[in-house]
Amino acid sequence: MISYFKTIDGKIVEIKEYEQGCWVNCIAPEDDEVQFLLDNFRIPPELMRSALDEEESSHIDSEDGTTLIIIDAPMVEKVNRNITYSTMPLAIMITDKNVITIALDENPVLSEFSEGVVKNVITSYKTHFVLHIMLRMATKYLQYLKQIDKINNRIERELRRSAQNKELHQLLR
């Protein structure tokens, strides 16, 4: 799905069609959407292949005036009472006129931008916008690390209380 967003009155809002300086957000693109991006934004096919590779590691690449930044975005999945933390590659392409993000699945950080939660970010200021995305990613990582630490501490306390084995107590100290 391809969506377009633009900063209007200090808030990112969705617009109906492409405009120069808007943010192009693409989530789980279909083949025709990939072709649309390749044709209309002159994205080199090699960069698009990297952007769509779910095993791609973080890196920066540049070709024909388009810069590709791939970062591992933090993800959390909750199934019943089980929580799984993982990462998913997020592609950020900087073209001469726009910032294009490509993700293989919904991303909580991009959702904060598309839902207007993040204020005073101007989509036409490409570097500024990309740095804001990266800052929100780092903040999300820290949030998830705190959650993991809390879970770890709770499990350790429960284990200390329930364990009768002296060797196990020694191991936890």
| Structure confidence at residue 165 as a pLDDT band (50, 70, 90) | low
Report whether CATH 3.30.460.20 matches the domain 2-172: yes
Rg (CA), the chain: 20
21: left (phi over 0), alpha (psi -120 to 50) or beta: left
Q: What is the pLDDT of residues 146-159, one digit of tens each?
A: 998 998 888 888 77
Place of tokens 């590709």: 68
Residue 132 pLDDT > 80, yes or no?
A: yes
What global pTM score does this model have?
Answer: 0.83
The residue that leads in pLDDT, 80 or 161, is 80
Residue spans of beta strands (DSSP E) within 11-80: 11-15, 23-27, 59-63, 66-79
